[in-house]
A and B are shown apart, each in its own frame.
Chain A
Amino acid sequence: MQNLAKLLAAGVAAVFVVGAGFALLQEVVKSYTLQSLSDQDISVEQALLVAQGAIDECKKSNSVVTVAVVDRVGGIRFVLRGDGATENDVDVARRKAYTARTFRQATSKWLERTAPDAVDAKGVPILLTGQRSLDNVIDRAGGMPIIYHGDAIGGIGVTGSKGGDMADEACAEAGTKAIADQLL
């Protein structure tokens, strides 16, 4: 009988605690403005301009490249496989774009930062090599983020140029410059 009374008391207390917690949550919610979150994202037209810019730059060295542009969540916005390229190239370009987007930097910089022997300015090991085992990334140069007011709204990846990965990255950078005036 005594046990039952204890159980009842605990139950009543629990109801009060949960009730108080719920009231607190309501207060917290009220303190926010009740608007849905709105994000900036790269548009299809911007993606086309960026891709075209990269393709044109690579054409200067007679390179036929494969280009991918991803949006702010890293999903495919635009992909164009260069003539004679394989389906692997499509995936490589997409991964370069994804890596640049998600780490908000040129993939060549990210490569340096995640190298097994990478150290910071004071010579302290950085130890970020583990990032290379994330899904969808690739440890190759040739990806550039698309930054709008400090916010990464997309990324571009290029592969297949004659000058190798660093030449790919130069083309990718030229691509982002094609919409530079829109990113100010």
Chain B
Amino acid sequence: MSSFSISVKAVALAAAFGFMTSAASAQSLSVNAEQAMAAIAAMQKYAKKDGSNPSYAVLDRDGKIVLLMAGDGAAPHNLGLAQRKAYTANTFKMKTIEWRDKSAPGQPEANERSMPGVIPLGGGVPIMVGGEVIGAVGASGTRGGQTGDTDCAQAGADAAAALVKRLQASN
């Protein structure tokens, strides 16, 4: 078979798929830099009340870094933890404090913990808009441990989501 006929077949196949799906490009909402900054501002407000200097991460819907910030005097592990918490919340679409219990040893989903980059620690919260996860926030280093980190990250996720919703309302 000549390479010409192979390429003809490939084009025909691609065309067939093209008819099957709509020709529009896929669109997906993802957290942007401004919304990430709003999340950080809300979390800093929480930290100030808490009297702590946590580290934060905001990831987009693909789990890629939008924003990282290491707190003053943070331990070397804090920023990495914040990022992994955010990633875990993003990929499992739930608060990491819930996923921590859901994936505990002996649970049916325990093997989820073997995924690279995840961490079973509270402090990661997905950014939800219209039931859709558009990114995630992670915090590490509040006084309240995993519960405090979760509350802090929730404040950040809420602030980012609020900004997205305001933008949608104005459009």
Contacts and interface: CB of A to CB of B under 8 A. Distances in A.
B33 A83 contact: yes
Contacts of A43: 72
Contact of B66 (A47, A71, A78, A81): A81
B64 interface: yes
A90 interface: yes
B94 interface: no
Interface in A31-66: 43-44, 47-48
Contacts of B33: 80-83
B152 to A, nearest CB: 15
A125 interface: no
Interface string A78-100: 11111100110010000000000
B72 A44 contact: yes
Contacts, number: 44
Contacts of A77: 69-70
B70 A44 contact: yes
Contacts of A82: 33
Contacts of A75: 70, 76, 79
Contact of A87 (B32, B65, B72, B79): B65
Interface residues of B, number: 17
A76 interface: yes
A44 B32 contact: no
A53 B55 CA distance: 22
B41 to A, nearest CB: 10
A48 B71 CA distance: 11
Interface residues of A, number: 17
Contacts of B76: 75
A126 B143 CA distance: 51
A65 to B, nearest CB: 10
Contact of A71 (B36, B68, B70): B70
Given A43-B72, A44-B53, A44-B72, A79 B32 contact: no
B54 to A, nearest CB: 10
Nearest to A83: B32
Contacts of B53: 44
B67 A79 contact: yes
A44 B72 CA distance: 6
Given A82-B33, A83-B32, A76 B72 contact: no
Interface string B16-46: 0000000000000000111011000000000
A78 B72 contact: no
Contact of A81 (B65, B70, B72, B79): B65
A80 B66 contact: yes
A81 B71 contact: no
Interface of B: 32-34, 36-37, 53, 64-72, 76, 79
Given A79-B68, A80-B33, A80-B67, 6 more contacts: A44-B53, A48-B69, A81-B33, A81-B64, A81-B66, A87-B64
22 contacts: A44-B53, A44-B71, A44-B72, A47-B69, A71-B70, A75-B70, A75-B79, A76-B70, A76-B79, A77-B70, A78-B67, A78-B68, A79-B65, A80-B36, A80-B67, A81-B33, A81-B67, A83-B32, A83-B33, A87-B64, A87-B65, A90-B65
